[in-house]
Structure 1
Amino acid sequence: MAEPTRKPLRKISRPFVADGPTGVSVRDRLKGVTPEDEKVLRAVGEHMGRLASADLVRRCRDGLEHSTGTWAARKRDLTAASSSRWAGSVTSSTHDQWGLSRRAQHQHLQSLEAGIRTLRHRLSLPIGEKGSRGKPGGYRSKGEWFQKTRRLAILEERYAHVRAERETGKVSVVRGGRRLLHQRHNLTAAEKTPEQWRAEWEAARWFLTADGESAKRFGNETIRVTPDGEVSLKLPAPLAYLANAKHGRYVLASKVSFPHRGDEWRDRVAANRAVAYRIHLDVTRGRWYLDASWTRKDLPVIPLDALRAGGVIGVDTNADHLAAWLLDEYGNPIGTPRRFDYDLSGSAGHRDAQLRHALTRLLHWAKATGVQAIAIEDLDFTDSKTREKHGRKKKFRQLISGIPTSRLRARLLSMCAESGISVIAVDPAYTSMWGAEHWQKPLTTKRRPATRHYAAAVAIGRRSLGHRIRRRTAPPRQHQSDAGGHRTAQARPGDRGREGNRPRVPGPRLQGEGTGRGRNAVDQNTQDRSGSSAEHVQLMLSL
């Protein structure tokens, strides 16, 4: 009897230690801003905002013909209307905005191309044909097939338009944010009046950002903050008459202290190391804030083997919680699992606070256990959110879209770097499926039912430790061979052939079956290595 064909396993990447954050940003409120201070801040923000908007228009007009000559010409014009350092900050911000729009345009093209490819594949299949090997099948009815042909024509036209814009170097960018721009057309849904929207729009388009300079006084000549918290601005040339200090500077009445990382910030400014500042207004609360940011030095990279020595915490990411389990260095689950819930509804600030709270509790538990690393999946659902790929599975698409992959990754890396804990990223392939298959039932007790998410956390942790997800095979039953003896061999991670096929051994153990006919004598693909089979098992036959 021919064996059923198995779906080939995709290639699984090796676990790696994720890089930490490259920069630091802290914020403090400008308390006690006087009316004169607010007048000056508004005047400088409006003036520099107009210059930044005009510079962005020129950069977009240059497109792919941008060169050092055009950049120098733009900076000369900005210097005449402000100062050389203000001009440098404006051009730097303009280049960042243009580059970000260019990358977003490329990702949009990739998304459109993936949708077109999927639609063409499904339209080429007969109506009602089922999918196979991870590929979707045909459409259910002629009506749906017709609607998808219209959808394909729309995507092809949109793809051609975006591709033509990319080839000519044209990008779409909005100073102030596209989300806020679109709210103007539906103020009722945004629950804002025209005056409120106008105030937010103007504040979002102000420019009060200054790049830092090393070896300059307190690390910044444009927006200078002394170690004792005094804030002063170098006014642009047309607004020099508003100065209240020497050399065309204006000193604010309010001071800052930066409660978070204040000592680190003071050490930098005292040593005249570069610190970038940004002043902005929260229109809803009527508060002014000052952000300070700087580049942090490279953290020492701890080898993966050293991180594995003390065990890890495997974390499974879900739409509403993190499922975590502690594993020792041998891949055995220890203690009880933990669940860290978060609610991603509401505003962006509320979602960010929920993530920070969940990750804070996770890191506190990691410190209490003494582990040096947290294992998490290297998730990226960019190609799995399209309606063309999953069709009517709206709930599944919403579930994938609800998992905060990029935001959680950035937050986790930043918070782990401050806690002295490393992050091991693993390939997410088959972790949920094999975790439920091999670990959910053994870990379930009467008082503690193990969910699929907890089992997936164990699978993630074992993969980060270099172990296979599959558990060690149980010994034979009591009535077979010496009452429970001859446990199958457990090969070490470095042994060659550990993932090979089980040898074909005839004899009484196979109950009279001939050589090569045993049920377990061939491929047993239930492990987490690509293109390989179950562990190499050597049966010790008793005489």
Structure 2
Amino acid sequence: MQGRVTGMGGGGLREVAAPFVVPGPSGVAVRDRLKQLTERDVEVLRLVGGHLGSLAARDLRARCAAGPDHDSQAWAARKRDLTAASSSRWAGSITKATHDQWGLARRAQLAHVQSLEARVATVAHRLSLPVGEKGTRHAPGGYRSKREWHAKSRRLHVLQDRLTAARADWQAGVVHVVRGGKALLNTRHHLDAAGLTERQWRARWEASRRFLQADGESGKRYGNETIRVTPDGEVSLKLPAPLAHLANAPHGRYVLTARVTFAHRGEQWADRITAHRAVAYRIHEDTLRGRWYLTASWALPPATVVPLAAARAHGMLGVDMNADHLAAWRLDTHGNPVGQPLRFGYTLTGTAAHRDAQVRHALIRLLHFARRHQLAIAIEDLDFTAETTREKHGRRKQFRRLISGMPTSRLRARLVSMAAELGIPIVAVDPAYTSKWGAQHWQQPLTSTTRKPTRHDAASIAIGRRALGHPIRRRTAPPRTHQSDGCGHRTAQAGPGAPGREGPRPRIPGPRTRSVPPDAERTRATRTPRTVRDVRSDQEWVQHSLLLTE
């Protein structure tokens, strides 16, 4: 279903975007634990991280004060101010991180303004309708009772005040950023509910505000002069000028006792540092486990995207993402479902690490199936960021909670990254009407005594057919008199360029009646025709053997 489609009942449906092959990831990151750190190492890391964190907070304040009028000259001035208290390379990393953080806050602010505008418009529209008026397919109706109408009228004023303040901040270029996170800051006032002591919260707060990250430098020794990791795993960092007296190595450097060995992508990392290509590093502390970690990241060259026609060459594996499983179905090049529906389950309960492991395990099984059958994967281009408000879905709290808990962005990012390693193309399709039309056209025809496909299984077929360029609707069956004996069954799928795809099947030699065995024509040619006497006359009537096949 490509291009603009029209709906039934006189209402038009929104335009469905064309499918496209998702490009691969632009960078990778690997992490390893810093084991066997001494007390001296931990003390130095905390002092350096705290000092640089205070500089980063001061630089962020200066950047927010400059607003949208900030230019390259102001950036250079900020870097000069930081260089005296750290080093040129540390100052460059701090100003770059500040610029990225301010830009992210600015984009989030615009998204917040647009969300408030949509919520205000929805509430105002429903308040303008009479109480109890039913809605239509394209617009919600009035509120159910006067009590709800009164509560929503008060909420409208609250949303309008928030919108006015957000618009004023946007126009003035004012952003609200908290180094360490706003959620952790608010936890300080609810320690009992969070199950933390003030000391535990303080340790987590200080760890989140430290700054121990350095951008890579191409052409420099081992790809980074600030935080350096040698091929044998030795980690050293350049100390800021006020802390140079803590150095235990020449040129104001401090060497840690820990050694790192990247188990994942270790060969790629070693190839980069031996060729002196840029590698960025970040050191952080996990206060819950009492561990320190080193993360290495680098950019990948832009990979050549597989053409869409090549991705469709061997068929498609349509995947429908749900709150607790991935529903998939294999489709051939003509859009026909092959085999049985597939289900890759996961649970989104427990800790964040457990949820992430569940998602990765489901994706691994999905990718192994696709690679075994040489299939591309078709998935919806979902985005629920603007669909979780109560103004959008009203009293459907369970549905709002359901879509809020679906890990769409994390699953999509992990799928693209893992598929790129295996060389499996990912085709993204427009999610419009896939669940509705899939259930309407495919769920009942595929149901049998041994197979009970769900609505999600049917949606996976719709997703795969849209990725293949076929319409979701199945071909209309011919009249009953032409389905079998007359012209042959014509509901099987065929390619758009197949000759005679709308015509009857080719003539198969042999009898057409189902009561005669396949070799009856050859048998009748050698046997004597039977004679049937009509009881109403004395004449004999002989039935010719060729009458059954003409």
TM-score > 0.5, shorter chain as reference: yes
Output one character per residue of 1:263-313: Cα deviation in whole Å (capped at 9) or x when no partner: 000000000000000001111111110000000011121110011011111
After TM superposition, give the deviation of residue 40 of structure 1 in Å. 1.1
Once residues 20 and 102 of structure 2 are traced to their aligned partners in structure 1, the CA distance between those partners, rounded to angstroms, is 32
Once residues 326 and 52 of structure 2 are traced to their aligned partners in structure 1, the CA distance between those partners, rounded to angstroms, is 44
- Alignment of 1:436 onto 2:446: no
1:94-493 correspondence to structure 2 within 5 Å: 94-371=98-375, 373-478=376-481, 483=486, 485=488, 487=490, 492-493=495-496
| 3-state SS in 1 of match to 2:80 | helix
Once residues 381 and 492 of structure 2 are traced to their aligned partners in structure 1, the CA distance between those partners, rounded to angstroms, is 32
Deviates more, 1:374-383 or 1:148-157: 374-383
Q: Is the Cα–Cα contact under 8 Å of residues 335 and 465 in structure 2 kept in the other structure? A: yes
Once residues 34 and 299 of structure 2 are traced to their aligned partners in structure 1, the CA distance between those partners, rounded to angstroms, is 23
Change (3 A) 1:264 1:482: closer
Q: Is the Cα–Cα contact under 8 Å of residues 482 and 489 in structure 2 kept in the other structure? A: no
After TM superposition, give the deviation of residue 476 of structure 1 in Å. 2.4
Q: Is the Cα–Cα contact under 8 Å of residues 477 and 483 in structure 1 kept in the other structure? A: no
Residue 188 of structure 2 aligns with an amino acid whose one-letter code is R
Output one character per residue of 1:312-364: Cα deviation in whole Å (capped at 9) or x when no partner: 11000111111011111111111111111111123322222221111111111
| 3-state SS in 1 of match to 2:298 | strand
Residue 386 of structure 1 aligns with an amino acid whose one-letter code is T
Give the match for residue 503 of structure 1: none
Give the match for residue 502 of structure 1: none
After TM superposition, give the deviation of residue 134 of structure 1 in Å. 2.1
Q: Is the Cα–Cα contact under 8 Å of residues 27 and 258 in structure 1 kept in the other structure? A: yes
Deviates more, 1:424-433 or 1:401-410: 401-410
| 3-state SS in 2 of match to 1:92 | helix
Deviates more, 1:64-73 or 1:10-19: 64-73
Choose the corresponding residue for 1:21, options 16, 20, 25.
25
Change (3 A) 1:483 1:256: same
| TM-score under structure 2 length normalisation | 0.87
After TM superposition, give the deviation of residue 385 of structure 1 in Å. 1.6
| 3-state SS in 1 of match to 2:471 | coil
- Alignment of 1:50 onto 2:54: yes
After TM superposition, give the deviation of residue 67 of structure 1 in Å. 1.9
Q: Which runs of 5+ in 1 are unaligned?
A: 500-543
Q: Which runs of 5+ in 2 are unaligned?
A: 1-7, 503-550
Output one character per residue of 1:198-223: Cα deviation in whole Å (capped at 9) or x when no partner: 00100111100000000000000000
Change (3 A) 1:274 1:478: same
Choose the corresponding residue for 1:64, options 61, 68, 76.
68
Once residues 382 and 50 of structure 1 are traced to their aligned partners in structure 2, the CA distance between those partners, rounded to angstroms, is 33
- Alignment of 1:82 onto 2:100: no
| TM-score under structure 1 length normalisation | 0.88
Q: Is the Cα–Cα contact under 8 Å of residues 466 and 493 in structure 1 kept in the other structure? A: no
Q: Is the Cα–Cα contact under 8 Å of residues 114 and 383 in structure 1 kept in the other structure? A: no
Once residues 204 and 256 of structure 1 are traced to their aligned partners in structure 2, the CA distance between those partners, rounded to angstroms, is 22
Structure 1 ranges of 4+ moved more than 6 A: 488-491
Deviates more, 1:218-227 or 1:183-192: 183-192
After TM superposition, give the deviation of residue 491 of structure 1 in Å. 7.6
Structure with larger Rg: 2
Deviates more, 1:327-336 or 1:257-266: 327-336
Once residues 299 and 419 of structure 2 are traced to their aligned partners in structure 1, the CA distance between those partners, rounded to angstroms, is 17
Output one character per residue of 1:58-85: Cα deviation in whole Å (capped at 9) or x when no partner: 1111112212222112111110001000
Change (3 A) 1:481 1:20: closer
Q: Is the Cα–Cα contact under 8 Å of residues 393 and 400 in structure 2 kept in the other structure? A: yes
Q: CA RMSD in A?
A: 2.0
Once residues 312 and 138 of structure 1 are traced to their aligned partners in structure 2, the CA distance between those partners, rounded to angstroms, is 44
